[in-house]
Structure formats: C-alpha cells, structure tokens
Structure 1
Amino acid sequence: MTKFPHPPHSLGQLPRRKLAVSATLLAFLSGCAVTPQPDAHVTAPVPPQYADWFDGGQPRPLEWMHKNTVEKAHQLLEEGHSQEAIAELETLMQKGLPKGYYEMAKIFDQGKGVPADPERAARLYAEAIKTPSYILGNASLKLAELYREGRGVERNDVLAYYLLQQATDEEVGPRADAALAELLAEGGQGVNADPELAASLYQRAAEADNEDALVALAKAHGPGGWMKEDPALTQQYAQRYAKRLEQRADGGDVNAMTKLASLYGEDGLLGDQPQRRMQWLTRAADAGESGALSQTGRTLLEGNDPQRGLSMLEQAAEAGDVSAMEALGKALLEGGNGVAHRPDQAQHWLSAAIAQGSVNAKVTLGQALLTGEGLPAHPQRGIELLEQAAGQADGLALALLGAYYLDDEAHASQPLMARDYLERGHELGHPYATQQLGQMYLEGRGVAPDGSRAEQLLSEAAEQGQTAALRLLGEGYLAGEVLPYHPSKAEELLTRAAEAGDASARTALGAGYLDGTLKQRRPSRGVALLEEAAQEGDAYAMVVLGRAYRKGEGVPRDLQKARQWLTRARNAGHPSAEEALAQLRYDQGEAGNIEALVQAAEDGHPGSMATLGEAFLNGRGVQQNLRQARIWLTRAADEGHAGAAADLGRMYLDGHGVPRDPAKGAHYLQRAVGAGHAGARADLGELLLTGRGLPADPERGLRLLEQAAANGNGGARLTLAEVLLEGKHVDQDTQRGLELLRQAADSGDDYAAQLLGATYLEGKGVSPDPQQAETWLSRASEAGNLSARTLLGTALLRGDGGMPTDVERGRRLLEQAAEQGHAGAQATLGRELLRGETLDMDRRQGADYLLAAARQGHETARLALAKAYLTANGLENANREQALLWLDEVMEGDGEMAAQTLHDLLSDEDAMDALRTASAQR
C-alpha cells in the first residue's frame, strides 16, 4: 500500500499531527492502495521504484529486539572499535530490522571511525525506510538531506520533498520543519516555491529554538532576503541563534565556537566585532581542534599577530588539517606582513596538502612554479599541477592556464588554446577567466573582434569584482574601435576602477583628462592621477607624463621634467621609454642640445639613429645635411629600424641627397614592409603597380595598398582609390574606388573630398553629377583645401561638368584661393580677366595674376606670357625656350619693374591677342 503525503497548510497555527491518517487507515483496513493525491508543490509524483519508501503500514514495536545491540554498538564506537560496532549492527540488518540499517547508515554518513561513504549511507537509509518503524521519520530526513545535497546520490529535489514531507508526517520535529522550509523558501528542481508555507515552517521550528530556523529567519529578514526586510527581526533571531550557540560553546562544543566567531565577522549577522570574533576563535583554538586552529591562525596571520597565527597554522597542519597546510604554504611562499619568505617550507606544506587531495594547493604551487614568483621557475611542473586542478573543475586554474597561453613575452602565445581554457573557466563562473575572455574579444586575439561579446563578458566580470574589467571596458569605450566611442561611460568606468585601486585605470583616466579624449579636459586632475599611478609603480604613467612635458600638452613644456619621468620609466622597464627618450633628445636638439641626440645615436640606439637621420634629412634642429642623413638612416636601417628603411627608400626613389636608384629604393621599402611599416607598404604597393624600380606585380601591389589602407594609412587609401577609379595597372572598380574616397572624406580627409568632387565633375568612371561634385568640393573647400576651392570656383565660373554657373560665387572662391597663394587660382583669374568673357576685362589685374602664377612656376601662365613676348617682338616662330628664359630674367628682377615690363608688353595689341589665345588653351 502506498501513501502519498499531503502538503501541510498553516502549520504554524495547527497542532502537530500526522497528515492523511484516516485515508491510510481506510486503505489498510480495505487492503487497497491509497490513490495519489495531487500536490501543487511538485511537478511529478513519487517515482515507482521508490514507492515502497512511502508504504503506509503500521509500525511494529521492535525496539525490544535491538535495544541492547544498538547500545553496545554505540559504546564500541565511542571506544574506537568501529569494526566491532559494525559487526553488531550487521546482526540486526540480517534480521531485517530498520534500526540496524539506520544506525549503520549514520556511521558511513558521518564517517564515524571509517571513511565517509555517502553512497553506501544512502542505500542503508533507503533500506531503513522500507519497513514502517519508529525511525521512519529520522531516516527519511537523513536520506532527504543526501538527495538535496547530491551527496552519494544524484540530486533529486522532488524525491527530497516527498521524504521531508514524510519526516514531518512522522513528527520528527523542528529539524524536519526547517529542512522542508529551506526547500520551499525558494523552490528547487521540480519543486515550486511556497514562501508563505516556508515561513510558517521556519517559525514553528524557531519556536523550538532550532538553530537552522533561527539563522534562516535572520537572513530572510535581512537585506536581499526573501521575506520583508526587518532589521529588528533579523537582530532578534540572530541574538537567539547566538544564545543557543553560546550554550553549546559553554559545554565545550568547538563547532559552536567557530560559528559564533563567524557571527561577529565582517559579513556576520551581528556585525563586525573583531574582539568578540577573536575571543571565540581563540577559545576554539585553545580546545585543540585543528579546524579552529586553522581558522584562528588565518585570522591572526592577516591581523596584528602574524607570528602567533603562523604558530597555530603549523600546529593545525601537523595535526593533518589540509586548509592549514594550504594557508601555511601560501603565507611562507609570499612572505611579508611579518612572515619571512621560506620557499622550501612553503613547497613542503603545499605538497603535503596536494597529497591530501587539495586543489587549492595545486593551484597555489602550480602558479608559483609557472611564474617563478616565490619559487624557482619550473613551468612544466607548474602546468602539470594547474592541469590537474583544471581537470577537477577549478576555475582559477583554468584562468591561469589561459593567461599563460596568452602571454607572448616568455614564449610563443597560443590564443586558441588559451580561449579553450578561458571558455571553460568562464562556464564555471570564475571572474578572472571571464575578464580575460572578454579582453580577447575586445582585442581580437585568437578570435574575431566582437564588441557585443566583449561588452557582455567584461560587464559580467566587473559585476563579480574584477576591477581590471572595469578598466578594459572604459578603455574600449574611449578608443571607440571595437566598442562604440562613449567618453562619458569611459570616464565613469575608469573612475570606478581607479577608486578600486587599479593603477592602470588611473593612468588611462589621467591621460584622458590630459589630452582631452574624455568629455572634458582637466589637465591638473590628469597630472595628479598620473603622478599617483606613477608613485604606485605604473611605468606607463611615467611615459605619459614624460611625453606630456615633452610636448607641452596639458602642462607647460618642460624638457627637464620630461627627461626625469622618461628616465624613471626606462629604469622601470617600460618598452616605449627608450624611444620616447630618443624623441626627447631630438626635441632637445631642436632646442639647441643636439649633442644629446647625437650621443644617444652614437651609443647605438636605433631609434636615436633614425631620429638623428630624420633631423639631418629635414633640417630640424640641425642644418640640413643629406649626406649625414643617409649615414645615420643607413645605420638605423641596418639595425632593423623600419622607419629609417622607409626614409632611405624614398630618398633613393626621388634621388634626394643620393643618386636616384629606384631598385635600391624598392629594396629599402621591402625591408621596411618586412618590419611592419605601414607607410612603406603603401609606397611599395604603388611601385609594384607601376613597375618602377622593380618588376611590376600589380596583384601584390594592390594587396599591399589594401593592407596599408586597412591599417589606416590615408595615402594608401587615396592611391588605391585613384587607381581603381582610373583602372590603371589594375581592373577598374569604380564603386570600390568611390567607397574608399567616401570613407576617407567622411573621416575628415579634405583631399579625398576634392578627388570625389573632381570625379563627379569630370565624369571619371561615373556619369557627371554636378550636384555631387559641388557637395564634395564645397566640403573640401570649407576645410581649407585651396585646390578644391579653385576647382569649384572655376566650374562655377565656366559651368564645367554641367554645373550651373554662378559667376559671383566662382570669382569669390578663386580670389580667396589666389590671395592665399594658389597658383592655379591666380592663373585662372588672370586668363579670365584678360579674356573678358565671363569676367569684365581688366588687363592690368589679369597680368598681375598671371605674373604671380608664373612666379610660382605655373606652366600655363609661364607659356602664355612667353607667347605674348614672342608675338610683341615679331618672333612668333622663335624658340619658345628663349622666351621662357627672358621671362625668368624678368621675374628674377625687381618686382615692380617686372610688373611694369609685363604691363608695357600687354599694351601691344598683337601681344595681347596672343596672350588671350594662349590663355584660352588651358
């Protein structure tokens, strides 16, 4: 016969009684099984294989058959004779007596004199409840606890619910009430929550001073609890719980002492009371219990008596306490806080803990051996230990292995392997693994950059307390590459990380305030944050400060302070400090201290050699000396400096200071490209398209230009756009060319906007579109591009490309460009004023504009003036070179005399006609 228990209702108001007694009795008398009753708390009935656990038969009074045997077994256990006690209980089991199974189950459940074996205990508890007896309720409770915890059996909340229900039916008392309440408070797998009923059960158990109920109610009424928050009730229940513990502690119960200590801890129910916490920990430790010794030792170690704490940990460790071995090994490994660094003893205790199965010790020792921090490095052994811990689902071990395989300083990084470890660590919920995985997606290491995934992972890690994740998110929002640019979010996140003690976040925040990449520029705050980070040892903060003082960005320029900060950064080992110092020496050279730069170059620093070579090349800080430029750039290039090789390549291509040698130029550009120089990649790509200096290879040339453009090289993007639009050396791809120009123009490149406008104006590969032409040329002109202003002005003046004429605006644009020295605008105005068609004729002003253009070498203006001179002198068929020679002599003379000479020339009608004719040939 099967009995299905009913849910208790309003238990707080009802006297304790068995539920469904009448139904069970009727079924017993009639010989029929009870019909299962619906239960709203669970989603499934009792599985058929467990039905005999819930038979409703009448218990038989069997105590007389086993009382003496059980008492004897208890006595044997107390005396340490566990095997003899087991033998006694086996006699009861052989008779099928539930009490025998129950007592035997408790031995293996609690590990009394034998290794704990919860699986065996579960089987024995199950046998105990198959036959109705007075221990049915207690055995049901014990078995329910195993199923609830998944200890020795697969977790099964539904089965646990039915067992707990049976225990309450059997009037086990407060323990069963509290256990059932715990399950119903928030529900479980297949068990629906019933907070109201859970509260009633807890309250009834609390009336009997059940400790589990008292502490559960204290927490339930506290912040974040599942009942209405009530500080007074929390305090009341916590005090009652403490009183119960004190009664047990006064009787020598060490476990009660340690629980009391926890009550007075930082997160304890009775608030942080260090003295009272230490009082109870000390009492527990004085009782000689190894767990208490370990806990007290750890507390003292972290507090103001590390030596006493160390002594307690040693006692506990020698007594076999694994947690004490772990803590002792870690303390001796790290040293500090009054504890001497003793690596040999640290390794001894950590190894002892590992021998006892400690995963934490494997992680601590594995990390030390992997990094060489605290112990001589032994990466292979370190990885072995961390792999073992990872195999036991330790999140930190997985995170550390992920970090190791991402590190490319001591060995070649393996991002794919790192990702696997970090994914597993993230699935286990370890925040450091989650943070690193988010960083991989943010930086695109081993995975495609994914802003959404990076944001999700880093936010999750930040919520779990990883301040570095806050910083990475802030830096990501500030960079605006993988994550959207969001300076206010960046500032908030970096501030939180900095306030949490992240020095790198202080550096990023300080740099943002200093250079204005955050919403507002706050130089003084930026300097203060950078100095704080630098004082904490952040070498990059020192570099940022050094650069700021060198450039005078956000602070007054001070090369002396710049040198101090950059020297500190170099001494701290920051890789970019030496290059920054070389740049500083360059600046000092500009300020008259070129010796500093020369000294650095002569000391063999490639960056300084390259910088000195560039100084001689451009005449910055020193007199231009192309021979010295070639010498220093060659030395730097031979040391592998990519920028120097790129500069040399351009020198040989252009014949600038060296004999023109395209092949040699191409050779140096190839070396620069091999070293990763983006600008050289663009130059070499262009050479390969044309075959200048080396065999043409349009396919590779196009690929190099694409790579350089993808890496942000504006020149490469424009060159690529032009060749694709014109179809020179490569297949024409007008749409791709226009797309590249639009990208560049939208990012603020006025020359790209000019090219776009010219393309639509002239119909290069596209149908002429005067509206698009005007839009793009206007944008470039407004950005200060004089060529675009000249082109737009000319088109408006003449109606080129189908653009509606606007003579007034066209003239205004040309005059603006001409006044700023644009030779093309000057030549165009000169021609139009001389022709007198679109503009009123003005010979004198027209001649002035032509002369100004010719002085700048404008070829059309020069030829027009030369043609007029030949005609005025009856030499229309004479050598044009002679006329140009005359023009050069005139322009090289006195400015006013040259202008007058040209005005006199143009008084000749034939010369004027010739000039107009030549000017029309634009």
Structure 2
Amino acid sequence: MERTTNWTRLVPSLRLTAAVTLSAWLAGCAITADEPPGGEHAHGIPEQYAAWFAGGLEADIDSSDWSRINRAQDFIDEGRYDEAIDYLEPLLARDLPPAYYEMAKLYDQGLGVEENPAEAARLYGLAIEKPSSVRGHASLNLARLYLEGRGVERNDVLAYYLLWQAREADLDRTAEVLLADLLAEGGEGVETDPELARQLYEQAAAQGQQQALQALAEAYAPGGWLEEDPAQAMDYAQRYAEVLQASAQQGDVDAMLQLASLYSDDGLLGDQPDQRIHWLQQAAQAGDLDALARAGRDMAEAGNQRQGIDLLEDAARQGHVDAMTYLGQALLEPETGRPEPVRAERWLREAIEAGSVDAQVILGRALVEGQGGLNDLPRGMGLLEQAAERNHPLALAQLGSLYLDDERVAGQPYIAVDYLERGHELGHPWATQQLGAAYLEGRGVPEDPLRGEELLREAAERGQSGAMRLLGEAYLNEERLAFEPSRGEELLRQAAEAGDTTAMTQLGEAYLEGPLREDPSLGIQLLNQAASQGDAYAMVVLGRAYRNGTGVERDLGEANRWLTLAQEAGHEAADDALTYVQRDLGARGNIEALVAAAENGHPGAMADLGRAYLDGEGVQRDQDQAEYWLGQAHQAGHAGAAASLGRMYMDRGDSERGIDYLEAAVSRGHDGARTDLGEAYLTGSHVAQDVDRGLELLTAAAESGSPHAAFMLGEAYQHGDGVEQDAEQAERWYRQASDAGVTYARAALGLALIRGEGAIAQDVEQGHELLLDAAEQGHPGAQASLGREYLRGDNIEADPERGANYLYEAASQGHRSARLALAQAYLSARGLEQANQQQALLWLDDVFESEGQLAIETLRQLLTDEAAIAAASEVDVED
C-alpha cells in the first residue's frame, strides 16, 4: 500500500549558443572519430549505429537558428507546446541536431504531443548523428531509453557506448552514475568492472551527485557489491542525507520522502521513527497526501496511537484510500486502548467501495478470525473470495489455510491446494509454506517430500518463520526427509529468533530430550522463553523436565505450576502429565493433589487413588474406597485399574470376577494383566487350565518386555509344565528375564545350569557364576541353593564355612527351606533326629535375635559335624 514514486530526471533545456569543448575522460585521452571510449568492456558498436559516435565537423548552426531554438525553449517552459513545435519544425526540416533534441524531449515526456518513446528514440538518434553541443545530452537520454527498453528493444551495449559519449558533456554527472550502475551490475554484452564503477561513482559523489552517494552507501553496506565497510557506508549515507536535506529545505517533496525512507527499518541510516515521521510530516504539510497517510501509519505503529489515528483520519477524509485501509486496520489492532470494530469496519468498507482489495482482505480476515470483536465467518470468507478473484495473494493464502486446516470449515484439500498454488505463483511466502507442507504430508496432493522440501526452502529463504520451523522439524524427525540434525537445528534457531514460539519449544525440547546434542540449560532457556509468551506445549515440556529433573533440579512444585498453567491454557497433554506429578506428590504425602485429579474424573488419577487405598500408601488402607476408585477408573477404560481389580479379586478368592477383570485389562493391552492371566491359565490356578492360552498370553507379554512372563516361560520349558521340555526356549526366556534385572530368574537359571536337572544341560561354571551374582544381590533362594551346594560339594568344591554363611543369610531373610536345613543340622548334631522340629526352629529364632557374628560362629561350629552337614544337605532348597 506504500506509494512508490517512479521518476527519471530529464536533462534540463539548454541555452546553447556555442559548441561545448569535450573534456578528457578517465584515462585523460581525447575521443577520436575512430575510437569511441570504453570499448574494453563491451562488443563493438553495430555498424548501423556508427554515425552516432563518428567525429567530423560540427553541424552548421548560425545565430538566427539559435534564436529560434531558444525561443522554442521559452514556449516549452511556458507550456505553449504548439507554438514551440511551430518554431522547431522548420529547423527539423534542415536536420539541425538541437531541433531534433528538443522535439525528442517533447515526445519523451509527452509534452504537447502524446508520449511516444519510440519517436523520441528516433529523434535522439538523429540529434547525435552529427557532432554538436547537444550530442552528449541526447546520448544520455537515448541511453536511458535503451537501458529501460522503453520505445526500443533493450540494448545494454548501445547504452554503454552512449553513456561514455554522454559523460564528455554531462556536467551534472548523471552519465557517470548510469555508467557506474551498468559496470557495477554488468549487462547483456557488457562486462562488470566494480573498480571502475567505484571510481565513476566517487567522481560524481565528489560533486554531491545524490544518486552516486546513495549507490556508494549501499555498495559498502552489508550485502553490497564492494567490500563491506560500515564506516564508509555511514559516511556516504550521511552525505546523501545532507544533499537531500538541502533539497527538502527548498520545498522538494521527493527529497523529503527519500529522507523518510533513509530512516526506515531497512534504510541506510537505520530505523529512526522520529526522523522518519518528521520528514513525512514535512511532505504532508507540503500537500503530499501519501506522506500524510504514511506519517499517520508510522505514528500509530510507533506507539503514538492518538496522533497517528488523527493523521490517518485526516487523509482518509480527503479520500486517500490507503489511509482508510491503514485506519481500519489500526482501529482493529490498536497498540494501546481497546479496538473500535464499528469505526474500523466503516473505514474499511469505504476503502472497499473505493476499490481497495487490501481493505477487503483486512476486513475479511478480521471477520474470519474474530479480530477486534468482529466475528462472521461466512461474510469474512465472502470478502476473501472476492479478493481472491482479483488474485490478492494474502487472500489466496488465507483461504487455502481455511479449507485445509480450519475445523470450522468443511475440509476441501483440493480446493485449498488450488488457492495455495495461485498464492505461491504470486509470490506469497505463507502460501508457499502451506503448499510445501501439503506436499510433504500428502494433503490435497500426492505426497511428494522433495517438492515439499523445495517449497519450504523457498518460503524459508524469504523469511517465512513457519516454513523454517516445518523444515527444521522435518530434518529432525526422519519421517519424510533425510535426518539432518545440523540443518534442522539451524532452521529452528532462525525461526525462534524470528519470534516463532513453536520453534522455540521444538528446539528447546530437542536440546533437552534429543535428537540434537544435549544442551539442557539452553533447552530450558528456550522453553522458558516460549512458555512466558504463552506457548502451552512449552509449559508441558517444562513441567515434565521439573518432574524428571531433566536439565533442572527436580522440583515437583514447579512441575505442578507449569502443568497447571498448560492445563488452564487448554493443552490436551497437560492432564496426563499433571497426573504423574500428582502421583509423585501423593507419594510424598500430598494426597490432596491426587484426590483432586481423581474427583475431576481423570482415569489415571482414579486408578492411582484406588491403588493408594488398596496398599495404604498416603492414605489409610480402605478396601471399599480402593474398589470404588478402581471401578471408576475401569469404567473410564483404564487398563491398569482393571488389572488391579483382577488381582484384588483373585487374592480375595473371587476367581471368576478376578479373571473377568484381567481379561478386560488384556483386551486393553495391559502387559501385567497378560502375564497374570497367562500364569493362571498355564498353571490352572483360579481358572480351568488352558496351557495353549497361557503360553499365548505369556509369550505376548514377554515379547512386550515383561520379565516375569519371560521367567514363567523359562520355568515351563525347563520343567515341562504343560509343554515339552525345551532347553533352548527355557534358556532364552530365563536369560531375557535375567538380563532385565530379575534376580530370581538369574537364580533359577544358575540352579538349572549347576545341577543339570530339567531341560537345560549342566554347565557348572556358568551356573555357579549366576548363583553367586544373584546371591550377592541378596536373593534368598540363590543364597540357600548356593549354601547347600557348598555343603554337599557334589557340583562344586565343598566349603562348609561358605555354605553356612549363605544358609544363614537366606534363613535370616525368612527363607523356609534354608531355616529347615539349619534346624535339621542342629537336631542331627545333638543326636536328636527324632526331636520336635518346632523346638529346633525356636532355637534358630534365638540365634537370629542374637548378635550376627555370634550366630555365624555358632553355625560354623554346628556344621563341623559331618552328620549335621549331611542332614542339612538332604533338605530340598526351594527358591
């Protein structure tokens, strides 16, 4: 909506009374008829244009001819073009170059005749066929036409030679600037020469030529074509501003507007709102309505809302359509104060009636998005459709978004993609981003990750932070594009720096939990930044981090605070995450948190509360409350609650109800219930035995990672419980459970290997190693078995002292067979084989209650008796 002034400064009319002496050009050489200057950068001059650059005698123009030319110029200055043409026509008939030149300017500018650049070019060409005082100026104007392709086919080579020729006569240095422009960028058939371009600009800048000063400031600035030099860039920019100020103080409105641009966000002197608004106001006071509108908009955006609105309204009342549009938008989105939707819609409607498509889009989006209190989806979409018919790119992008993703609109992905394709072709980065995402995900178009990547890259290169985020995310998750973590990290970082809070959250989570290199402190910093700006998922991730102590010290209070904020913000993941925190808080005695979540209907919390009442954790044990809350959770579909109910009823002896609940838990995918139910069917405990069903359930649970299910399978195949013995299967499942850290599985495998009983072949060394490991971890069954092996000495070398130690350790943990073994040894050592075993066990109780060392010594003495050793060895040791 910002006005762009497109202007070309024409060479002023000349009072020419004599020939102008040609000055030396850069190398100091005079131009000869056979050697036009500058030939080292371009191909030769086409033969048909050779006369334009030829030497020879100047055209014969006497004083009366000059009088008529000067008189014609007077008429032109006075706007009396017909009379000027009457004076020029006789001179045209005599082929006088100044007459051709003056007539060419009239056609060039459309003064007194219809603008006709082709005729102007023809006349300029005639004006330079003979040497004269106007040759340089006519060459300059003709060069412009060839550079712009106006009235003639663009020809950079001809323009190049014409500019060199013009340079010899153009006293205001315009030719140097245009020639430098061409040499700096190069052209078709013209080679670049940055150094020569710099010299030409500097020569023009030394005489205060503003275009040269501007060009050098841009060339030395970042991204310029000369080596970056901020000091030089600033010096030339300030000199450029001084030249403009001199013109502005003389009332030059264009200079005022150029000064305003200098102080804009991307201007050479940087964003200086006060200076920018000052010069816009100066231009507005000089009668420039565009400047008045721009000043109002900039004031409103800079925080001076009231004065900005006043200026915009002033321009709007004078019929400035863009001002009406700016005003409507400012009233919908005020920096301070409340929106004024009625007033905003009034001005936007006036702008629409005056033909503003931008106003259609602004009002349409406001109605669709509920902005500023407006809310009318059908009317908003109607306005957007009208703007789309006129190919407004933002309207196309917005409609694409609505038909692709908005749940209020029936999804029509193919229509959405059509809008987005049109918006993309018109260059709108948001449309390009959405189209890239559609190709990446296969929505509305066949999935094409490479095309999606190409489009997202294009949008990202144009600064679209959403595209940076989507592409960065795709490079990190390996779903559709190759895994490129460094590229993903860089893109997410760029999006985050652009203010995209979702990108901040994704990058923070990647630093905290992977897949990027772990940098927890930076991850927490980014998540805090995103959460403080309202990103609900960032709050969820922070809550998890504080609960788990990831990147921060564990703090359940902070976890609870962030997750509560996320819940209040409506994030669906907050409820489950908050339940885990409440469970932890409950385990620490804060049962109120768990009760509150359960009473709010959260299935996990209800299940946790039921288990708390069942086990008496944090609350007094209460079977009725346990059954109630577990039942509520079960009704809500919670698999763990069904499993807990199943175990509870089986423990009570209500096998039928217990099995029903376990079946329900299994149908919901609960591995623990699958293990319990599989064990019941395999052993026929609580249910009619069904070995096949039991093996099926246990195998499924074991393959899902249940170590107890793996142990049960190992036992079945080792001992042939309902299946044929199978050493390979037995060892496989024993080892799976053992590798998962289950010591009783390690003990069982060790015992099987050391004794060679059952399916598994004997391997004393490996079995001994496994039993030792389980015994050292405190498993009483392993200690008892190992103690007996050391006493008997059948499979390993006898060591009564170690045997006594292990039996004592097992017995002290209440291991039944270990206690019986020691009691039997006591009876035998006393010659009381027929004595009451109850008496022996009472004796053992006294031993265990005494000092540990004394007990060990007593047992050592006891087991020096061979009969006692034999008696202890005969007792079967169970796990």
TM-score (norm 2): 0.65
Q: Secondary structure at the residue paired with 1:22?
A: coil
Match of 1:744 in 2: none
The more displaced of 340-349 and 377-386 is: 377-386
Q: Distance in 2 between matches of 1:859 and 1:413?
A: 72
* Corresponding letter in the other structure for 2:529: R
Match of 2:219 in 1: 220
Report the CA distance shift for 1:698/1:621 in structure 2 as closer, same or farther (over 3 A). closer
Match of 2:613 in 1: 616
Q: What is the deviation of 1:296?
A: 1.5
Match of 1:895 in 2: 845
Q: Distance in 2 between matches of 1:239 and 1:128?
A: 40
Q: Distance in 1 between matches of 2:81 and 2:496?
A: 52
Q: Is the 8 A contact 2:717 2:730 kept in 1?
A: no
* Corresponding letter in the other structure for 2:148: L
From 783, 787, 792, the counterpart of 1:830: 787
From 630, 647, 653, the counterpart of 2:627: 630
From 367, 370, 389, the counterpart of 1:369: 367
Q: What is the deviation of 1:198?
A: 0.7
Report the CA distance shift for 1:41/1:437 in structure 2 as closer, same or farther (over 3 A). farther
Q: Is the 8 A contact 2:511 2:522 kept in 1?
A: no
Q: Secondary structure at the residue paired with 1:246?
A: helix
Report the CA distance shift for 1:888/1:477 in structure 2 as closer, same or farther (over 3 A). farther
* Corresponding letter in the other structure for 1:345: R
Match of 1:282 in 2: 281
Q: Distance in 2 between matches of 1:300 and 1:790?
A: 81
Match of 2:646 in 1: 652
The more displaced of 405-414 and 255-264 is: 405-414
For 1:121-140, list aligned pairs within 5 A: 133=128, 137-140=139-142
Match of 2:11 in 1: none
Q: Distance in 2 between matches of 1:77 and 1:463?
A: 61
2:705 corresponds to 1:715: yes
From 518, 521, 528, the counterpart of 1:486: 518
* Corresponding letter in the other structure for 2:247: R
* Corresponding letter in the other structure for 2:249: D
Deviations 1:285-329 (A, max 9, x none): 112212211221123223464222112112333445454344322
Deviations 1:862-884 (A, max 9, x none): 998999999999xx9xxxxxx9x
Q: Is the 8 A contact 1:597 1:612 kept in 2?
A: yes
Match of 2:435 in 1: 420
Q: What is the deviation of 1:256?
A: 0.8
* Corresponding letter in the other structure for 2:775: A
For 1:204-243, list aligned pairs within 5 A: 204-222=203-221, 225-227=224-226, 233-234=232-233, 236-243=235-242
From 146, 149, 170, the counterpart of 2:148: 146
Q: Distance in 1 between matches of 2:512 and 2:80?
A: 68
Report the CA distance shift for 1:834/1:146 in structure 2 as closer, same or farther (over 3 A). same
Q: Is the 8 A contact 2:381 2:399 kept in 1?
A: no
Q: Distance in 2 between matches of 1:277 and 1:295?
A: 10
Q: CA RMSD in A?
A: 6.5
Deviations 1:523-549 (A, max 9, x none): xxxxxxxxxx3xx65666777887888
Deviations 1:77-119 (A, max 9, x none): 999xxxxx9xx99xx9xx99897776455459xxx999xxxxx
Q: Distance in 1 between matches of 2:319 and 2:235?
A: 39
Report the CA distance shift for 1:313/1:371 in structure 2 as closer, same or farther (over 3 A). same
* Corresponding letter in the other structure for 2:371: E
Q: Is the 8 A contact 1:590 1:621 kept in 2?
A: yes
Q: What is the deviation of 1:331?
A: 1.0
Q: Distance in 2 between matches of 1:454 and 1:396?
A: 30
Deviations 1:593-649 (A, max 9, x none): 6466446534545454233223224432124445533321221233x4x5x333313
Q: What is the deviation of 1:334?
A: 0.9
Q: Is the 8 A contact 1:669 1:684 kept in 2?
A: yes
Match of 1:472 in 2: 506
Q: Is the 8 A contact 1:296 1:312 kept in 2?
A: yes
Q: Secondary structure at the residue paired with 2:371?
A: coil
Q: Distance in 1 between matches of 2:497 and 2:381?
A: 29
Q: Is the 8 A contact 2:146 2:156 kept in 1?
A: yes
Q: Secondary structure at the residue paired with 2:705?
A: helix
* Corresponding letter in the other structure for 1:485: R
Q: Is the 8 A contact 1:872 1:908 kept in 2?
A: yes
* Corresponding letter in the other structure for 1:715: G
Q: What is the deviation of 1:212?
A: 0.8
Match of 2:26 in 1: 13
* Corresponding letter in the other structure for 1:630: E
Report the CA distance shift for 1:789/1:607 in structure 2 as closer, same or farther (over 3 A). closer
* Corresponding letter in the other structure for 1:472: Q
For 1:495-894, list aligned pairs within 5 A: 504-506=527-529, 533=532, 570-575=567-572, 594=591, 597-598=594-595, 601-602=598-599, 604-638=601-635, 640=636, 644-649=638-643, 651-652=645-646, 655-656=650-651, 659=655, 661-662=658-659, 664-670=661-667, 672-673=668-669, 680=670, 715=705, 764=732, 786=743, 817-818=774-775, 820-836=777-793, 840-843=797-800, 846=803, 849-850=806-807, 853=810
Identity %, equivalent residues: 35
Q: Distance in 2 between matches of 1:867 and 1:153?
A: 120
The more displaced of 538-547 and 605-614 is: 538-547
Q: Distance in 1 between matches of 2:750 and 2:162?
A: 96
Q: Is the 8 A contact 2:743 2:779 kept in 1?
A: yes
Match of 1:22 in 2: 34
Q: Distance in 2 between matches of 1:697 and 1:225?
A: 77
Report the CA distance shift for 1:153/1:860 in structure 2 as closer, same or farther (over 3 A). farther
* Corresponding letter in the other structure for 1:284: A
Q: Secondary structure at the residue paired with 1:454?
A: helix
* Corresponding letter in the other structure for 1:420: L
* Corresponding letter in the other structure for 1:376: L
Alignment gaps of 5+ in structure 2? 1-22, 129-134, 418-432, 438-451, 719-725, 849-854
Quick check: which has more Rg, 1 or 2? 2
2:488 corresponds to 1:454: yes
Q: Is the 8 A contact 1:844 1:903 kept in 2?
A: yes
Alignment gaps of 5+ in structure 1? 1-9, 25-36, 80-84, 115-119, 499-503, 509-532, 674-679, 729-757, 767-772, 877-882
Deviations 1:326-375 (A, max 9, x none): 432221111232x5412233344445556777676566445433432324
The number of equivalent residue pairs is 763
2:458 corresponds to 1:435: no
Q: Distance in 1 between matches of 2:223 and 2:242?
A: 25
Report the CA distance shift for 1:889/1:314 in structure 2 as closer, same or farther (over 3 A). farther
Q: What is the deviation of 1:565?
A: 6.8
Q: Secondary structure at the residue paired with 1:142?
A: helix
Q: Distance in 2 between matches of 1:210 and 1:721?
A: 91
* Corresponding letter in the other structure for 1:476: A
Report the CA distance shift for 1:239/1:390 in structure 2 as closer, same or farther (over 3 A). farther
Q: Distance in 1 between matches of 2:471 and 2:838?
A: 68
Q: Is the 8 A contact 2:784 2:877 kept in 1?
A: no
For 1:372-383, list aligned pairs within 5 A: 372-379=370-377
* Corresponding letter in the other structure for 2:619: V
